[in-house]
Amino acid sequence: DADVTQTPRNRITKTGKRIMLECSQTKGHDRMYWYRQDPGLGLRLIYYSFDVKDINKGEISDGYSVSRQAQAKFSLSLESAIPNQTALYFCATGTSGLNEQFFGPGTRLTVL
């Protein structure tokens, strides 16, 4: 079984719709992250959470919100999707004292 799972894997939606991307992990890590990948831009951090009660904005949080429902679950929402949010979204986990991160398989989101 995968340690970090993301649902859905692919999603096509229309401008203005609300979308939720979900991430679950079985690694027991306290830290979770949401990134966005665009061609030629690498990965950019949207939001991160160091525990259930700690939520922090990353470099590109505008237009996004998150919810840390439990240590193992971290959801990303687009309240009103727009076409330039079309991208590949990755969830990652980590833990204090271990500075590497572990990534999910990604969600490909297309906003028409």
- Of the candidates 2, 12, 3, 31, the one whose C-alpha atom is nearest the C-alpha of residue 107 is 12
For residue 2, the tally of other CB atoms under 10 A from its CB is: 10
Nearest distance from residue 3's CB to other proteins, in Å? 11
Q: Is 85 helix (H, G, I), strand (E, B) or coil?
A: helix
The answer to whether the CB of 5 falls within 8 A of the CB of 25 is yes
> In the stretch 80-99, what mask flags binding to other proteins with x, by CB under 8 A?
----------x-x-x-x--x
| Beta-bridge mates of residue 94 | 31
By CB under 8 A, name the one of 20, 86, 103, 110 that touches other proteins. 103
74 binds other proteins (CB under 8 A): no
By CB under 8 A, name the one of 74, 104, 109, 111 that touches other proteins. 104
By CB under 8 A, name the one of 8, 28, 41, 54 that touches other proteins. 41
The answer to whether the CB of 77 falls within 8 A of the CB of 67 is yes
12 binds other proteins (CB under 8 A): no
- Of the candidates 104, 109, 84, 112, the one whose C-alpha atom is nearest the C-alpha of residue 19 is 109
Nearest distance from residue 86's CB to other proteins, in Å? 18
Residues of this chain that bind other proteins (CB under 8 A)? 4, 31, 33, 40-45, 48, 50, 58, 90, 92, 94, 96, 99-106
